[in-house]
Structure 1
């Protein structure tokens, strides 16, 4: 073995993740709204970038349509002045007082109009009042209900301790000890506040919340009290056991359960409930005029920027020092890279989306029952990309279709083999079929998991019982025993 020093020449390949490459990958897996936020930051930092405000002609540009019926044009004022023709018989007389004529189509001038000639003539009466939150709503009722300063102080503390669902987890004894008053006084104030709007607030648990609402409706009786004491039997859908405990027949039990379903178990949650978030699509899809589909990016959320080459030329000429020239060159390189990355991102999203639409054509035409099994490798091989690229493209992206707005990940489902070597079926289609079977059940014919397996195999789907149980749990469908108990009494 020689220990002498020597020089070796070796060739190797390695992928260097530059900051720009990492940023391009991040842009690819981000939604249009996230990319728009990033572009806004770049517009503030880079003076060579500018927003592309050119208006696209749109898909319907140049298409001729039947004109709408319009009224014949009125003669020009100058021609009318030169004309010797008299006004028609149905025209307004010459001595008409125009101050008393009202034209619904013309906004009044000089009275109530806007000085900037905008079309918005709405007054203060058209402005909606700001919505009150739960604590403001309850605070007004506290001020109107309690006149004593002591009661108002106790009510204010109860209002501060209530949670968003309407529960008061702190017992009356602890509140009384903290305020230095009798427990009975705190209990009396809380009882009155339980009848505030919404009814059922300031209760310790679910039973008390439902009891207060039943008392407000004058529907609380010994049978209802027994039902509230055995809510665990109702959770297990053991209606026959509840009939024995409450001492009622099946018809009365059905009415009692229906009465409970009309109550609000969390009266405070719905008051301040935020609006459901809207899923903004990144890709739009519509039918083609003849056959097939048209896929395009959503122009409302698609960020578009340009490189201001004129400003770059002036900045390059005006740069005096080497540092200034280097800064201008770096800004120009960053701007050019961002524009190129956005174009490449848009092209990649369109390619992947178009391939997904092509493969799931049956779903868009006939529904979820025709959803085909699809994996990332299938799309990657067709569009000539790596699976990781397709995974990034489909992350955090949604597509608006004639059947609704879906995430692109929704169309990738595992395959369930068919019986006797038949065609594979999508797992999502199988879940939809299981849900349809359960919804079509009758009280006399409740399907067990084994029965569902037999029906699916008869339809050509080779599936195991444990898979059916897993899909049923994912759909939050109770077991056959619980469904039988639930449907035994028409509640």
Structure 2
């Protein structure tokens, strides 16, 4: 090989990541709230940039404020309405417990201990303090401390001040009416809690010399208890979102529009510009040119962001007509690369465009990224979306005989024979877990 040292020219084309390009990419992926915050910060450093926030204080009366969920029911909406009406100051768990102390018979020592215990109950209603530390702190006998704990646990809500879930359930069971079933439940939770929780019911039934249906009844009763007795006092305001894109349907026709009610209006401060332009100072002119260019870049970036969001949304509708016309069960497999290729943009641009953005449809509000799903091979050499497979799994499990629940392998066979979907048992198990559905052994009933 002949290797010689020398000089040579080579012409290459490279994309330089300028500050403006970096900011443009960031602008594309901003959510409406992030974009509003960005524009506010920009207006503080650029006097030529006027940002009007008035338009975001009032929403279009035709626009529904929607919870971050894709499944809503009328009953739940009614409940949310009631929560909004009564959204004033509500009583806290600590206040509620303190209000019951007046009617509680307690010794002078207990009256000192009880308020301290109440202050240390967590938001779920549990109390887990070191008893030895409390005995030293208050200088009392263990018996007095135990009495204070017991009296606190007699207060409402039932199950309050337990150290763990087992004790919480026991407190609630012991306050119920005494019946044979109740006594069996107390015995099981008290002495066989782990066996019961792990659903090793056959061994448990043999040890207690009862039938499986009796343990099933105990399980049903336990399901009615409250594992977090203090949670009902948490009054967090429900989180709402305003969609970035709105799809409307008229017959079989679909239309889409970008909804930018949360994005402030941007305008040029012409009066400030004219006033400063009168100065002949070179530094002032340089400053004006820089800020004017910054303003123009922001205007272009906002328009490009809106245009890209609209193009991607239109492509989603074009490729997913059955979803919008027939329902979520008809979501077809679609990848970001596929959309990017058809729009002749980079895949990362699609990814940034759909980040933390939502689409309001006639059937609910969805994250834009939820429309991109993997494909599953079918017996007809066609493609089905993972969402369709999940919907089918959920349907079969809902309709199954709970005394003989369908195994994952049986679901594999059903999906292939009835739906034409070819999936592995491992995939079925993964989708079932994502749906929050337990295994067949844990779904089985004995009555």
TM-score band, normalised by shorter chain = 0.7 to 0.9
Question: Which runs of no fewer than 5 residues in structure 1 stay unpaired?
Answer: 61-125
Partner of 1:216: 175
Partner of 2:97: 138
SS in 2 for 1:168: coil
Structure 1 residue 343: Cα displacement: 0.9
Q: Distance in 2 between matches of 1:226 and 1:423?
A: 55
Show the 5 A alignment for 1:143-222: 145=104, 150-219=109-178, 222=183
- 1:264 matched to 2:264: no
Q: Is contact 1:425-1:461 (8 Å) kept?
A: yes
Structure 1 residue 218: Cα displacement: 3.0
Show the 5 A alignment for 1:213-252: 213-219=172-178, 222-228=183-189, 229-249=191-211, 252=214
Stretch deviating more after TM superposition (262-271 or 155-164): 155-164
Partner of 1:324: 284
Partner of 1:48: 48
Show the 5 A alignment for 1:7-26: 8-26=8-26
148 and 233 in structure 1: CA distance in 2 versus 1, 3 angstrom threshold: closer
Partner of 1:89: none
Taking structure 1 as the reference length, what is the TM-score of the superposition? 0.77
Stretch deviating more after TM superposition (240-249 or 428-437): 240-249
Stretch deviating more after TM superposition (182-191 or 195-204): 195-204
Q: Distance in 1 between matches of 2:241 and 2:206?
A: 48
Partner of 2:298: 338
SS in 2 for 1:294: strand
Q: Is contact 2:40-2:51 (8 Å) kept?
A: no
Structure 1 residue 149: Cα displacement: 5.4
Q: Distance in 1 between matches of 2:230 and 2:350?
A: 44
Kindly indicate which of the two structures has a greater share of residues assigned to helix. 2
Question: Which runs of no fewer than 5 residues in structure 2 stay unpaired?
Answer: 63-84
Structure 1 residue 40: Cα displacement: 1.9
Higher relative contact order structure (alpha carbons within 8 Å, sequence separation ≥ 6): 2
Q: Is contact 2:49-2:268 (8 Å) kept?
A: yes
Partner of 1:417: 377
- 1:366 matched to 2:366: no
Taking structure 2 as the reference length, what is the TM-score of the superposition? 0.84
Q: Is contact 1:226-1:246 (8 Å) kept?
A: no
SS in 1 for 2:256: strand
Q: Is contact 2:125-2:229 (8 Å) kept?
A: yes
Structure 1 residue 165: Cα displacement: 1.8
Q: Is contact 1:375-1:413 (8 Å) kept?
A: yes
Describe the superposition over 1:334-374 as per-residue Cα deviations: whole angstroms up to 9, x where unpaired.
11111111111011001001111121111122223311100
Q: Distance in 1 between matches of 2:61 and 2:208?
A: 67
243 and 219 in structure 1: CA distance in 2 versus 1, 3 angstrom threshold: farther
Partner of 1:39: 39
Describe the superposition over 1:379-409 as per-residue Cα deviations: whole angstroms up to 9, x where unpaired.
1122221111001101111111111111111
Q: Is contact 2:246-2:359 (8 Å) kept?
A: yes
329 and 469 in structure 1: CA distance in 2 versus 1, 3 angstrom threshold: same
Structure 1 residue 434: Cα displacement: 0.8
Q: Is contact 2:90-2:235 (8 Å) kept?
A: no
Q: Distance in 2 between matches of 1:481 and 1:265?
A: 23
Q: Distance in 2 between matches of 1:247 and 1:350?
A: 67
Q: Distance in 2 between matches of 1:150 and 1:269?
A: 29
Q: Is contact 1:194-1:200 (8 Å) kept?
A: yes
Q: Is contact 1:32-1:303 (8 Å) kept?
A: no
Describe the superposition over 1:198-243 as per-residue Cα deviations: whole angstroms up to 9, x where unpaired.
2212112222111211222234754222220223233233444444
Structure 1 residue 413: Cα displacement: 0.7
Structure 1 residue 443: Cα displacement: 3.5
Q: Distance in 2 between matches of 1:161 and 1:190?
A: 12
Partner of 2:71: none
SS in 1 for 2:310: helix
445 and 202 in structure 1: CA distance in 2 versus 1, 3 angstrom threshold: closer
464 and 49 in structure 1: CA distance in 2 versus 1, 3 angstrom threshold: same
Q: Distance in 1 between matches of 2:400 and 2:391?
A: 15
Q: Distance in 1 between matches of 2:61 and 2:103?
A: 60
SS in 2 for 1:270: helix
Q: Is contact 1:223-1:247 (8 Å) kept?
A: no
Stretch deviating more after TM superposition (217-226 or 193-202): 217-226
Structure 1 residue 267: Cα displacement: 0.9
Partner of 1:292: 253
> Matched residue pairs, number?
417
